[in-house]
């Protein structure tokens, strides 16, 4: 058995540290998508479909059965894999299933990243302040200082390039079109983690509707935000463990 975690943007696998500690398991694998704490190969275009293919290739090398967990874009990659190659995992969990609802509208920052010129300028401002500035920005978002510093160390030109390519490949209607296949994810048990104070993933009703289409149960993390795994790792660990135990 392996529990595989995949993080998102603009993060590193450090975000999982408190949650992994709360789980107390020794079968955890942390995967870092190219450009996000891992090198960005020169021939990797960083589109959302290329990240899907990357994750499929990684999962094929891991001893199973696999319980797959994704956060932010990592959760997007998880859902994309489960719509395409569900046999690669025993179960899946994602906190961004709502991205695939036809009514989802990208948040303001994503819309800027998707805009040529404006996206480059925003990322230059975000990453141009050196390590202290990047750490301060991550801390201001509610990330603990030690984890913020780890993330900031890996925020570089590769990550900026990956952010722009990824978000531009996913500009609507791309996600709505991908979401037409949500029903295929129901081939494996799924869990939608709905952090009620997460401002990036759309309204609760669209998130619940997408989860239902994907055949996933919804676990409401009331009062928690985008980085729920850092805000209350014990609650996150309990939700995942209960889900996994239900599969026995």
Q: What digits encode the pLDDT tens for the residues 24-33?
A: 999 999 999 9
Q: What pLDDT sits at residue 161?
A: 97
Q: Please choose, from the candidates 91, 49, 48, the residue with its C-alpha nearest in 3D space to the C-alpha of residue 69.
A: 91
Q: What pLDDT sits at residue 64?
A: 87
Q: Within 10 A of 1 (CB to CB), how many other CB atoms are there?
A: 11
> What would the CATH number be for the domain defined by 2-245?
3.40.50.1820
Q: What pLDDT sits at residue 151?
A: 97
Distance, in Å, from the CA atom of 30 to the CA atom of 9, rounded to the nearest integer, reads 15
Q: What pLDDT sits at residue 88?
A: 98
Q: What pLDDT sits at residue 128?
A: 83
Positive or negative, the CA dihedral 51, 41, 69, 89 is positive
pTM: 0.97
Distance, in Å, from the CA atom of 104 to the CA atom of 102, rounded to the nearest integer, reads 6
Q: Please choose, from the candidates 131, 173, 161, 160, the residue with its C-alpha nearest in 3D space to the C-alpha of residue 148.
A: 131
Q: What pLDDT sits at residue 129?
A: 81
| pLDDT under 50: residue ranges of the chain | none
Q: What pLDDT sits at residue 190?
A: 98
pLDDT tens per residue, range 97-134: 999 999 999 999 999 999 999 999 999 999 888 999 99
Instruction: List, in sequence order, every beta strand (DSSP E) within the chain.
Output: 2-6, 28-31, 66-70, 91-94, 190-195, 216-221
């Amino acid at each position: 058995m392996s529990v595989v975690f995949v993080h998102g943007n603009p993060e590193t696998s450090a975000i999982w540290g408190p949650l992994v500690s709360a789980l107390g398991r020794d079968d955890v694998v942390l995967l870092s998508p190219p450009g996000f704490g891992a090198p960005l190969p020169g021939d990797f275009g960083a589109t959302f479909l290329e990240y899907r293919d990357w994750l499929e290739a990684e999962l094929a090398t891991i001893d199973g059965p696999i319980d797959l967990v994704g956060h932010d874009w990592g959760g997007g990659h998880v859902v994309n894999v489960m719509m395409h190659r569900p046999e690669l995992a025993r179960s899946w969990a994602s906190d961004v299933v709502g991205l695939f609802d036809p009514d989802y509208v990208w948040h303001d920052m994503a819309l800027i990243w998707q805009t040529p010129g404006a996206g480059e300028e925003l990322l230059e401002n975000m990453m141009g302040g050196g390590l202290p500035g990047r750490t301060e920005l991550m801390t201001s978002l509610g990330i603990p200082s030690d984890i913020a510093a780890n993330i900031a160390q890996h925020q570089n030109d590769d990550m900026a390039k990956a952010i722009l390519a990824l978000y531009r490949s996913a500009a609507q209607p791309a996600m709505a079109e991908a979401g037409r296949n949500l029903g295929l994810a129901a081939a494996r048990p799924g869990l939608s983690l709905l952090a009620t104070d997460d401002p990036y993933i759309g309204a609760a009703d669209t998130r619940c509707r997408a989860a239902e289409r994907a055949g996933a149960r919804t676990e409401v993390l009331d009062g928690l935000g985008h980085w729920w795994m850092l805000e209350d790792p014990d609650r996150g660990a309990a939700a995942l463990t209960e889900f996994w135990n239900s599969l026995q």
